[in-house]
Structure 1
């Protein structure tokens, strides 16, 4: 126990002599002690002063120690009960009700102090973890990345924070457009090494013939060329839409995940690799395994933890929050005032089924802003797609709008790293700079 931060305890006992004796013992051990003669005064006391542990007698007039224990909520400090009339049934009842420990009078001072110290340390650790979780939540911007306050989204954010610091494989399930990749990147960014590589593989595009050369690398007289898996070692391997992965590639991925090593083509010595595996699917995983689309043994390696991203139709309370965010985002990009959301817009959002989920809503909001550039349109029209005036009038405008969207997405995905954004777009850095100027994009507004 630190002298600068001594443990705090609340003693509750109706026996004046016993209460004073406990206070003397604890103060001699450098505890900060407060004492009450009745249990029914504890609730009011806890509103102004929160101890690290509560030490209470069991049999008292009015509210008993057991009744006090049952009245405390889950956030209350741990409670140690002490009684001169204790017996086994009472101890069992106390522990079942959530008591940290139960001791009989006369107590052995050293044992009592040991129990209280352990209870206080555990409580402080729990509070520190809660504070760290809150701080990470604020710093990570999870509330901005995964917008919404419905229970399913709040629980998903909590799960991300809980599992980010582990190396467990995570399988993220959800429909197309729900934001599965955002969840994967959040797990990586909040992990123990966010600066490590994040290798995203589109499983539908993986080719069995080229897989080993591209992923494992090659070795020959000219030297060894590292594959993408070697380059990603120490970071995260993100397998996007794993059920779309060709069967032959699934077998090779399974071997790498199990062996944690790759053998470059032409080499005789394998190269060790180590990465966390995060995968996604928009399909029914049980059906995919049942039809042979996904190897069962690969699934066992991927779903140590399973997270589900809810579809937008199941979180309609978040619609206005999401729409407002996207409208503000695109208004900054296109340097326009944010259009108001009318009753008709809200009705259209609530009545729409959102098969494309959050991605569809994002695109609808961008169409609304594009229409606002000409002083036309509404969000309701953007959602229905019925208004032709919200679409670009010419092919040149349509191409420019598509380029603007793709460049903006690349800059955001690469967190402002322009060389990486250019590589992701398949163009040179100079070309990217020219297009940013030509399209009037504001890089700072995108980040």
Structure 2
């Protein structure tokens, strides 16, 4: 029997009947289990600290200590290994008592070997998951500083943390590149908090959400009327998210403000000095924007003096369970409910999903799972609810409208091969509105072309 790619589990068999013990060993070893045997429960308990079983299979009636007393002793020692009890003399009260004390399950002799193997496998898998969850909790409890902000153990996220530390005291503009949901604002805030401007304000301007006719006033303010974001960010950090949506007429003034460290409000005459750090972010190909005339080359080269590339969740797949456990604990505290234990199929769903929405999508899935678990139901697979699964009907009108818009815009982007002016025209909306919806709906334009 092939055992490729199958985990090897370790089981402790405790039975005073030699024939039964040898029969169980043969059954288990032929199905790739590692087996240790004991004839008495008290002998096993003397060595429990040196053993690391995934599951314990024990007879109920044995000389000396019986299975029920063994369960009590394991509980006193805080041993959480699942115990499967077997007995030829089982009855319902006995089984109920065993389960109350902590047995995983109770089987009567004679038992079906396939049933036994299935029960042991599920118990061992659950134990491994619980052990992994405990290790994750311990790891999360030890995190501090950047480790707590940018959680993960992969090389990609470790390198990003190092780059943030290296760039933290540099005043040169930094551009953050990454897909939607990779955490660009989180990284920007970390750069601010570690910089010389940390005592100043951290101001975010999402360029895709500002109407073109209001963009200049929003950025530079209006003389004697209202300050703009440049004034608000003075002494701190200005984070220009979705910088590719900055209107062409404003780009020249922004470049001048960055280079001269001063700006003139709309309708004003006197230049106002400013001292701030400029961070920007995009999930678009700005080189293509330069080529087609939508973005100034000199502004791009000023903004991307330093560049940080944020990895996708697909590139750091081994961090998925760690991050998901963190988000479950986070939302558990918010909703005042204990986070559900992840089952084997939950972990499989987490690891097999492509996560097009990256960390943002993972966080939303964790919240949905926690809210479903609070009502006594739900799984990770159900919480993911892929957009392409048309069998899932949105729960609210808002969600239904968002799903329809997402599908319609995605189809238009594919049809017009990413030419956004043509996409906006075909949909009957302005370019600014289109950019805003793409950001809001979490669409990755490059992935659709």
Shift of 1:299: 0.8
Aligned pairs, number: 258
Cross-structure match for 1:170: 174
Q: Deviations over 1:174-196 (max 9, x none)?
A: 00000011000000011113120
Kindly state the Cα deviation for residue 280 of structure 1 after the two structures are TM-superposed: 0.5
Aligned to 1:369: 370
What secondary structure is seen at the aligned counterpart in 1 of 2:197?
coil
User: Does the Cα contact within 8 Å between 1:367 and 1:390 map onto a contact in 2?
Assistant: no
* Residues 265, 350 of structure 1: alpha-carbon distance in 2 compared, 3 angstrom cutoff: closer
SS at match of 1:161: helix
SS for the counterpart of 2:280 is strand
The corresponding residue for 1:179 is 183
Equivalent in the alignment of 1:200: 204
Alignment of 1:372-411 (within 5 A): 372-384=373-385
Match for residue 141 of structure 1 among 113, 136, 145: 145
The 1:391/1:161 distance shift into structure 2, 3 A limit, reads: farther
**SS at 1:201's partner residue?**
strand
Q: Is contact 1:206-1:249 (8 Å) kept?
A: no
Q: Displacement, 1:393?
A: 6.8
Contact 2:217 2:228 in 1 (8 A): yes
Cα pair distance change 1:266/1:361, threshold 3 Å: closer
**1:140, CA displacement in angstroms?**
6.5
Alignment match, 1:42: none
Match of 2:266 in 1: 265
Task: Report Cα offsets for 1:327-348 as digits up to 9, x if no partner.
Answer: 1111111111111111111111
Q: Which residue of 2 aligns with 1:247?
A: 248
User: C-alpha displacement at 1:326, in angstroms?
Assistant: 0.7
Report the Cα distance in structure 2 between the residues aligned to 1:167 and 1:308, rounded to whole angstroms: 18
Question: Residue 363 and residue 389 in structure 1: after superposition, are their counterparts in 2 closer, same or farther (change >3 A)?
Answer: farther
Contact 1:208-1:249 within 8 A present in 2 as well: no
Paired residue for 2:350? Answer: 349
Aligned mates of 1:258, 1:266 — CA distance in 2: 21
Matched, 1:339 2:343: no
- SS of equivalent residue, structure 1 residue 234: coil
Q: Deviations over 1:358-382 (max 9, x none)?
A: 1111111111011112100111221
Gaps in structure 2 of 5+ consecutive residues: 1-141, 401-449
> What CA distance in whole angstroms lies between the structure 1 residues aligned with 2:205 and 2:227?
16
Q: Match of 1:217?
A: 221
Change (3 A) 1:139 1:383: closer
Q: Report 1 or 2 for greater relative contact order, CA contacts < 8 Å, sequence distance ≥ 6.
A: 2
The answer to whether the Cα contact below 8 Å between 1:213 and 1:264 also exists between their aligned partners in 2 is yes
Extract unaligned runs of 5+ from structure 1: 1-137, 399-447
Alignment TM-score, normalising by the size of structure 1: 0.53
Per the alignment, residue 280 of structure 2 pairs with 279
Q: CA deviation at 1:277?
A: 0.7
Q: Which moved more, 1:291-300 or 1:235-244?
A: 291-300
Structure 1 contact 176–282 (Cα < 8 Å) conserved: yes
The answer (yes or no) to whether the contact 1:323–1:365 under 8 Å persists in 2 is yes
State how far apart, in whole Å, the 1-side matches of 2:233 and 2:277 are.
10
Name the residue aligned to 1:41. none
Distance (Å, rounded) in 2 between the aligned partners of 1:326 and 1:304: 34
How far off its partner does 1:389 sit?
13
**Is contact 2:215-2:247 (8 Å) kept?**
no
Shift of 1:395: 7.8
Give the equivalent residue in structure 2 for 1:306: 307
Q: Is 1:377–1:389's contact at 8 Å kept on the other side of the alignment?
A: no
How far off its partner does 1:295 sit?
A: 1.5
TM-score where L is the length of structure 2: 0.53
| Rounded Cα–Cα distance in structure 1 between residues aligned with 2:397 and 2:286 | 41
